[in-house]
A and B are shown apart, each in its own frame.
Chain A
Amino acid sequence: RKEVEQDPGPFNVPEGATVAFNCTYSNSASQSFFWYRQDCRKEPKLLMSVYSSGNEDGRFTAQLNRASQYISLLIRDSKLSDSATYLCVVNFRTSGTYKYIFGTGTRLKVLA
């Protein structure tokens, strides 16, 4: 089983739609969680960190469910500019070091 798994998509949604992505992780010792956004042929950029209590940033809401070992990202009122790949990232400690493991990404295309 992969350490971090995401549905690769693509998700094609109309402008204004609400879309949700899930990401599951296998290591119960995972300690921090992030969503990154990656545009085509560019480096990933942090979209938001994910906290146990859930957090919201404008149209974006992230949730963490430690019991079920998944994190989610909800995008409301989708804009054309939200079209990108969304990467789930999990950080966990192993043998005294920290590893950042990325999911394969979920592609989102918002259609006019």
Chain B
Amino acid sequence: DGGITQSPKYLFRKEGQNVTLSCEQNLNHDAMYWYRQDPGQGLRLIYYSQIVNDFQKGDIAEGYSVSREKKESFPLTVTSAQKNPTAFYLCASTQFGTTSEAFFGQGTRLTVV
């Protein structure tokens, strides 16, 4: 079955550590996105990528980094520079274009301990 997979589902990190969240899709989608969601809040765009080896900053990119070396994969690194990383992280993918819906992974819940 085609889909988008995020791992891990739950992640605990000590302050000062970098962690990488995985996002893989087998939908052959061109575009991939990372969002952050805080309790009671909507989704805020961190980074997005339309094609391999290219990505753009979203609205809250500070303290995060990404790579897009393969079409299927768009990992997100939460660096120690991110001051408040505890949140629910969602990865999405779409076909490139104006009318495609976004498909989501099940999310990674990151907690800084």
Contact = CB atoms under 8 A, between A and B. Distances in A.
B102 A100 contact: yes
A92 to B, nearest CB: 9
A44 interface: yes
Interface of B: 31, 33, 35, 40-45, 48, 50, 56, 58, 88, 90, 92, 94, 96-102, 104-107, 109
The main secondary structure of chain A at its interface with chain B is strand
A44 B50 contact: no
Interface stretch (A13-21, A63-71, A76-84, A102-110): A102-110
Contacts of A98: 31, 50, 94, 96-98
A57 B97 CA distance: 24
Contacts of A45: 104
Interface of A: 6, 8, 31-32, 34, 41-46, 49, 87, 89, 91, 93, 95, 97-105
A58 B10 CA distance: 36
A87 to B, nearest CB: 6
Contacts of B90: 43-44
